[in-house]
């Protein structure tokens, strides 16, 4: 089906058929959500109409929420019929902050062909309202800025029943700001406690915990406490007990955990979660306990913890493997546990892999620390500096063209007389990567000054033809 052909989804309520969703092309020609189906057909001659299937929609939304649960945050739930809500606290730093998290999420959904809007704020109510009523694709409400952000929004964002909204409209109340300025006693007398509760939830005056989405496949263990706990040692003790239970459950199913979440229910009906990711599936209780206990300092028990839940959000098959039994065989130490520990602390771990490129900055590539050994090494036999500047720095030199090394080099305000030099090592541009490099040439020299400091300098261009470079000199690295 061509993308520019208008498409609408028709829903039925009783005998009434109406447009429940319209794509961009349909909206362009004037079709709106809520329009009668017959009217829409009258506007466009050969309109494509699809019958709404609320059950399939709900199932698809749940699948999407489950995907978000694995990827983004330990606490995700379906919100209404058209969205999902997630608790990003303690999960945003893994994506480089709140802004990066939601813009990444929206982009990811766009790549799948879905239009989405996302917002981050202090409360579920505010995020719900902003995503549905603010046209910006992503919104981040700063800490404590909820009241300013929602004051001008219309009241139908408050998740209230339609007749309550209608009744409030009759009273002349249109925006959240107007509603929140009214005395609450007469309001609850007339409309019941729901209005006050929703307002309190919106402004964060009462907690609104998110009941996370769960599926039967998720392996989950929990523990409730008679008396709320709070001390770090106690938390560590119960993490250890939960991990043992979880490992036993995983073993029954032959699974190993790749990502596990510890969700903490506090006595004041709020929740916090910590997440531990692993490079390879694991069900060794000691390793899991260490990873989770590493993050105890992030847990804020406030008035006490009444329940702890440990979930294996991502589990993969893990088979038993025989360890090397031969006495002669060299023992290879598996460093994955160490990589997991450091990775969960937010450190960037990588290995360097050679790339077949003569251009120095392109000759290395970062790969995952647990990647298989490539065995490859740099083929170049010329000496390479131990420190490579992120960007070559321009230097002042005196050199005889076309292919003599410089006699004097001035770098960072220090003038050096060059006594020994090696070169040139000519490196050609890689035109298959960037067309601009078709002619580009760099001539590298190793130069040594009177004190014995060895520098790696290059001249842009071959010294004859100006098309190959500007003939300026740059310093690119320092030898040891």
Contact (CB, 8 A) for 308 and 364: no
With CB under 8 A as the contact rule, the residue among 337, 424, 429, 463 that binds another protein is 337
Please list, in sequence order, all residues whose beta carbon lies within 8 angstroms of the beta carbon of residue 456, skipping any fewer than 6 positions away.
384, 385, 444, 445, 446, 475, 476, 477, 478, 479
**Interface pick for another protein out of 335, 400, 433, 464 (rule CB under 8 A):** 335
Choosing from 113, 386, 435, 436, the residue that interacts with another protein (CB under 8 A) is 386
Q: Which C-beta is closer to another protein: that of 12 or that of 345? A: 345
Q: How far is the CB of 62 from another protein (least distance, A)?
A: 38
Q: Report how far Cα 379 is from the mean position of its chain's Cα atoms.
A: 37
Interaction mask 341-380, another protein, x per CB under 8 A: xx--xxxxxxxxxx-----x--xx----x---xxxxxx-x
In the complex with another protein, the residue whose CB is nearer, 350 or 431, is: 350
Q: Is 247 in the site for another protein (CB under 8 A)?
A: no
For 380, other C-beta atoms within 10 Å of its C-beta total 12
* C-alpha gyration radius of the chain: 31
Task: Answer yes or no: are the C-beta atoms of 2 and 11 closer than 8 Å.
Answer: no
Phi, psi at 392, each rounded to 5°: -60, 140
Based on CB atoms, which residue is closest to another protein, 53 or 393? 393
Q: Which of 124, 123, 133, 33 is nearest to 84 (CA)?
A: 124
Alpha-helical regions (H) of 44-111: 54-71, 98-111
CA distance 62 to 462: 62
Choose which of 99, 174, 220, 453 interacts with another protein (CB under 8 A). 453
Q: How many CB atoms lie within 10 A of CB 312?
A: 26
User: CB of residue 478 vs another protein: minimum separation in angstroms?
Assistant: 4
424 belongs to the binding site for another protein (CB under 8 A): no
* Cβ closest to another protein, residue 16 vs residue 381: 381
Q: Which of 421, 440, 457, 475 binds another protein (CB under 8 A)?
A: 421
| Cis ω for the linkage preceding 373 (within 30 of 0) | no
In the set 45, 231, 320, 333, which binds another protein (CB under 8 A)?
333
Question: Which DSSP letter does residue 228 get?
Answer: E
Burial 135-151 (b: 16+ CB within 10 A, else e): eebbbbbeeeebbebbe
Specify whether the CB–CB gap between 263 and 317 falls below 8 A: no
CA–CA distances in Å: residue 173 to residues 176, 192, 194, 197, 226: 8, 16, 16, 17, 46
* 419 near another protein, judged by CB under 8 A: yes
Containing H/E element for 270? Answer: none
CB of 450 to another protein, least distance (A): 7
Of 302, 384, 471, 472, which lies in the binding site for another protein, with binding defined by CB under 8 A?
384
CA dist., res. 473 & res. 395, Å (int): 6
Choose among 121, 116, 157: nearest CA to 139. 121
- Check whether the bond before 402 is cis (ω within 30° of 0): yes
Q: Which of 61, 359, 389, 408 binds another protein (CB under 8 A)?
A: 389
- Spatial CA neighbour of 88 closest among 78, 77, 100, 75: 75
407 lies in the site for another protein, by CB under 8 A: no
Task: Give the whole-angstrom CA distance, residue 148 versus residue 135.
Answer: 17
Smaller CB separation from another protein, 27 or 345? 345
- Contact between 422 and another protein (CB under 8 A)? yes
CB-based burial label for 174 (10 Å; 0-12, 13-18, 19+): middle
Q: Is 286 in the site for another protein (CB under 8 A)?
A: no
81 in contact with another protein (CB under 8 A): no
> Which of 172, 480 has the CB closer to another protein?
480
Q: Which is nearer to another protein, 26 or 409 (CB)?
A: 409
* Beta carbon of residue 342, minimum distance to another protein (angstroms, whole number): 5
Distance in Å, CB of 170 to another protein, minimum: 57
At its nearest, how many Å lie between another protein and the CB of residue 328?
16
Nearest residue to 418 (alpha-carbon basis) of 389, 445, 380 = 445
Q: How many residues interact with another protein (rule CB under 8 A)? A: 52
Of 153, 282, 339, 409, the one binding another protein (CB under 8 A) is 339
Q: How far is the CB of 456 from another protein (least distance, A)?
A: 9
Alpha-carbon gap, residue 133 to 156, rounded angstroms: 10
Binding site for another protein (CB under 8 A): 333, 335, 337-339, 341-342, 345-354, 360, 363-364, 369, 373-378, 380, 383-390, 419-422, 446-448, 450-454, 477-480
């Amino acid at each position: 089906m061509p993308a520019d052909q208008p498409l609408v989804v028709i829903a039925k309520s009783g005998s009434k058929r109406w447009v429940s969703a319209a794509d961009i092309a349909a909206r362009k020609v004037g079709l709106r959500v809520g329009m009668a189906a017959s009217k829409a057909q009258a506007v466009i001659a050969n309109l494509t109409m699809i019958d709404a299937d609320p059950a399939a929609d709900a199932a698809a939304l749940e699948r999407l929420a489950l995907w978000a649960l694995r990827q983004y945050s330990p606490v995700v739930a379906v919100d209404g019929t058209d969205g999902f809500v997630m608790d990003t606290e303690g999960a945003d730093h893994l994506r480089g902050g709140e802004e990066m998290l939601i813009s990444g999420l929206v982009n990811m959904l766009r790549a799948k062909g879905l239009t989405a809007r996302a917002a981050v704020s202090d409360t579920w109510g505010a995020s719900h309202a902003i995503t549905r009523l603010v046209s910006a694709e992503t919104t981040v409400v700063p800490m404590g800025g909820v009241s300013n952000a929602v004051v001008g929004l219309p009241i139908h964002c408050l998740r209230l029943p339609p007749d309550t909204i209608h009744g409030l409209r009759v009273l002349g109340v249109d925006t959240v700001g107007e509603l929140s300025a009214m005395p609450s006693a007469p309001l609850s007398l007339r409309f019941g406690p729901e209005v006050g509760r929703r307002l309190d939830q919106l402004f964060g005056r009462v907690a609104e915990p998110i009941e996370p989405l769960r599926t039967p496949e998720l392996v989950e263990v929990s523990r409730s406490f008679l008396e709320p706990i709070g001390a770090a040692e106690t938390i560590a003790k119960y993490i250890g007990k939960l991990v043992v239970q979880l490992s036993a459950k995983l073993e029954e199913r032959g699974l190993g955990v790749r990502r596990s979440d510890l969700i903490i229910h506090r006595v004041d009906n709020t929740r916090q979660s910590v997440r531990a990711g692993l490079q390879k599936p694991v069900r060794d209780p000691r390793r899991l306990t260490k990873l989770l206990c590493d993050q105890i300092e992030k847990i804020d028990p406030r008035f006490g913890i009444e329940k702890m839940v440990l979930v294996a959000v991502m589990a993969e098959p893990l088979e038993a493997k025989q360890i090397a039994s031969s006495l002669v065989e060299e023992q290879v130490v598996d460093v994955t546990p160490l990589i997991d520990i450091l990775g969960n602390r937010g450190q960037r771990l990588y290995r360097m892999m050679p790339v077949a490129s003569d251009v120095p900055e392109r000759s290395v590539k970062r790969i995952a620390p647990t990647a298989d050994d490539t065995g490859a090494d740099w083929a170049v036999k010329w000496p390479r500096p131990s420190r490579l500047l992120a960007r070559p720095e321009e230097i002042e030199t005196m050199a005889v063209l076309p292919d003599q090394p410089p006699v004097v080099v001035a770098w960072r305000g220090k003038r050096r007389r060059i006594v020994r030099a090696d070169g040139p090592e000519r490196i050609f541009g890689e035109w298959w990567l960037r067309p601009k490099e078709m002619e580009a040439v760099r001539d590298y020299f190793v130069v040594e000054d009177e004190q014995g400091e060895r520098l790696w300098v290059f001249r842009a261009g071959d010294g004859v033809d100006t098309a190959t470079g500007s003939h300026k000199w740059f310093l690119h690295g320092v030898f040891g």
